[in-house]
Amino acid sequence: MPARGLADQKALAAIVERSAVDREFRQQLMTDWRGAIQRAFGINVPPQFTMRFVERDAGIDALIVLPDFREADGELSDRDLEEVAGGGDLDLAHW
């Protein structure tokens, strides 16, 4: 695994871990995640990068994010092509 990918995983793990023990930070992630990450970790997320944080409802064992819809012709979307060409890593360490 590239060092960048490992750093990204560590940054995301730190965000998730803090959200498990800090109610205020958790709420901020759901209402102003960009600001919450900047204040807590000093990471400035570029405006073109988007995320959403959600809480798992009681009685739900797993949340599953469906992939982008593809037409039956098998053509890749522009986003899919970018991920294939760029490797698709989430670069949290280099914001």
Per-residue pLDDT of the chain (95 residues; tens, 9 = 90+): 456 667 778 888 999 999 999 999 999 999 999 999 999 999 888 899 899 999 999 999 998 989 888 777 767 667 767 766 665 555 555 44
pLDDT at 91: 55
Q: What is the rounded (10 degree) CA torsion for 85, 88, 90, 93?
A: -40
Is residue 94 helix, strand or coil? helix
The whole-number pLDDT of residue 87 equals: 53
Cβ-contact 90, 12 below 8 angstroms = yes
